Amino acid sequence: MPCVLVVGSGGREHAILDALARSPRQPDLLCAPGNAGTASLAENLPIAADDLDALVDVALARAVDLVVIGPEVPLAAGLADRLADAEIPVVGPTAAAARLESSKAFAKAFMARHGVPTAACRTFTRDAYDDARAYVDAHPLPVVLKADGLAAGKGVLIAGTRDGAHEGLQRLLRDSEFGEASAEVVIEAFIVGEEASVFALTDGTDYVLLAPAQDHKRIGEGDTGPTTGGMGAYAPAPLVTPVLMKQVEAEIIQPVLRGMAAEGHPYRGILYVGLMISSAGPKVVEFNVRFGDPETQVVLPLLESDLLDHFEALAEGRIASETVRLRDGAAACVILASAGYPGSYEKGKPINGLDEAAEHALVFHAGTKAHGEQVITNGGRVLGLTGLGADLQEALDHAYAAAAAIQFEGKTLRRDIGQKGLARLAAP
């Protein structure tokens, strides 16, 4: 029986564990640090996801056969490198390869070197604030401002006015709203189009694809308000047709893998391609070097083949031997968040209705914590409720029925998840 350690504590990690638990090989599952939901599938270990020394030590002590790294922070810090040095198979890229996410300036320069389609941009440091301000003054609106480093999915500002662009530069470069993550800022053109997410499992040379998804990043309905880590998702996204997927493979995924290998940093792990589908075709908005959250909560429930087999093949450099099988139908996830998210919020609110919600949908815990017999809120995004159905509407109905069953003080959600997909499916 293989032993697998999943690193992380969010809904993404709960969904990964759920998929691994479906393996006929019945792996022994560990999660560090986990949450109130992962405890039902794995042994939670009280080790922070960024405590690299302790994670390597426990992987050795427990004779772990495979480590799956969920969040971006330990990847950027070099956890995959440390595990490889200890001869522990790992799903996740090296720190050098993880720069595709940990440095937007690196990613944009890399795409320029290898002809990967993306928005035109320039990069500015804090000591070039006046130059950055002059650039946005001359730039067509809207303009996109991105903190270079990791900012938990919140370091992107879209400014529709000059004053808004100036305020954004002030927040990022002068006020250091995201700390060292905004010591450098990428300013890029706004791409008109519709977003989609594509996921490739790759061993650095070959890859297999999972179902395409669409995320909902803004806190408010109609894609309004501040950017969050994601308020819901659905898959498969009808926007990504088989023809478009072939284009994404040829113009983005394959050049990225060739380019990373050519530059001496082969990319092995999960490559998340955040796309904007424009009139000129697909363009890269961002890369993530791990599964997205909440996209994982819809992509993996649609996986019919064995995720454990896929992960082992990825880690061992033989992903080309794998065949991904997807179930028919659709999946939709609705995120329940704490009041105030993505700004400040309170924790410790009792959560009720979990058993009733599970009658309608898969319940993935994110910001939760066990307090005796009671589960309480412990984060901004609290739960992900994933409905499955023969079609997108049925999946959404199940997800929202589960959302209605859950109660906690300050429960916040969007009620328009999946509407773009429904409109596209209904179009003649």
Residue 49: pLDDT over 80: yes
Q: What's the total number of domains in the chain?
A: 4
Give domain status of residue 145, yes or no: yes
Which secondary structure element, helix H or strand E, spans residue 131, and what is its range? helix 129-138
Outline where DSSP puts E strands in 58-107. 66-69, 90-91
Contacts of 280 (CB under 8 A, 6+ apart): 117
| Same-domain check for residues 302 and 387 | no
The CATH number given to whatever domain includes residue 174 is: 3.30.1490.20
Contacts of 198 (CB under 8 A, 6+ apart): 209, 212, 240, 245, 248, 253, 272, 273, 275
Nearest to residue 310, comparing CAs of 208, 213, 235?
Answer: 208
| Same-domain check for residues 334 and 317 | no
| Same-domain check for residues 205 and 294 | yes
**What pLDDT, on the 0 to 100 scale, is given for residue 427?**
85
**What pLDDT, on the 0 to 100 scale, is given for residue 259?**
98
| Same-domain check for residues 184 and 197 | no
Give domain status of residue 103, yes or no: no
**Strands 66-69 and 3-8, sheet pairing:** parallel
Give domain status of residue 170, yes or no: yes
**What pLDDT, on the 0 to 100 scale, is given for residue 238?**
96
Give the chain's mean pLDDT: 96
| Same-domain check for residues 76 and 140 | no
Q: What is the mean pLDDT of residues 26-50?
A: 98
DSSP letters of 299-336? HGGGB-S-HHHHHHHHHTT-GGG----B-SSEEEEEEE
| Same-domain check for residues 219 and 163 | no
Give domain status of residue 102, yes or no: no
The CATH number given to whatever domain includes residue 373 is: 3.90.600.10
Residue 33: pLDDT over 80: yes
* Domain limit, last residue, from 321, 340, 361: 321
| Same-domain check for residues 400 and 361 | yes
pTM of the model: 0.95
Q: What is the mean pLDDT of residues 210-239?
A: 95
Structure tokens at 357: 């919600």
Give domain status of residue 104, yes or no: no
| Same-domain check for residues 284 and 268 | yes
The per-residue pLDDT for range 135-168, each reduced to its tens digit, is: 999 999 999 999 999 987 778 889 899 999 999 9
Distance CA 44, CA 42 (A): 6
The per-residue pLDDT for range 262-277, each reduced to its tens digit, is: 999 999 999 999 999 9
**What pLDDT, on the 0 to 100 scale, is given for residue 392?**
98
| Same-domain check for residues 352 and 366 | yes
Domain span at 418: 330-426
Q: What is the mean pLDDT of residues 345-373?
A: 97
* Domain limit, last residue, from 321, 349, 366: 321
Give domain status of residue 166, yes or no: yes
Which secondary structure element, helix H or strand E, spans residue 259, and what is its range? helix 254-262
**What pLDDT, on the 0 to 100 scale, is given for residue 74?**
98
DSSP letters of 376-400? EE-SSEEEEEEEEESSHHHHHHHHH
Which range, of 8-12, 164-168, 388-392, averages the lowest pLDDT?
164-168
The CA radius of gyration of the chain, in Å to the nearest whole number, is 21
The CATH number given to whatever domain includes residue 18 is: 3.40.50.20
Residue 26 corresponds to which amino acid? Q
Q: What is the mean pLDDT of residues 397-405?
A: 98
Give domain status of residue 100, yes or no: no
The per-residue pLDDT for range 60-85, each reduced to its tens digit, is: 999 999 999 999 999 999 999 999 99
The CATH number given to whatever domain includes residue 266 is: 3.30.470.20
Which secondary structure element, helix H or strand E, spans residue 234, and what is its range? strand 232-235
* Domain limit, last residue, from 80, 95, 110: 95
| Same-domain check for residues 225 and 283 | yes
- Helix (H/G/I), strand (E/B), else coil: 3: strand
Give domain status of residue 107, yes or no: no
| Same-domain check for residues 185 and 199 | no
DSSP letters of 7-42? EE-SHHHHHHHHHHHTSTT--EEEEEE--TTGGGTS
Residues of the chain above pLDDT 70, percent: 100
Residue 361: pLDDT over 90: yes
Q: What is the mean pLDDT of residues 347-365?
A: 98
| Same-domain check for residues 184 and 202 | no
Q: What is the mean pLDDT of residues 320-330?
A: 97
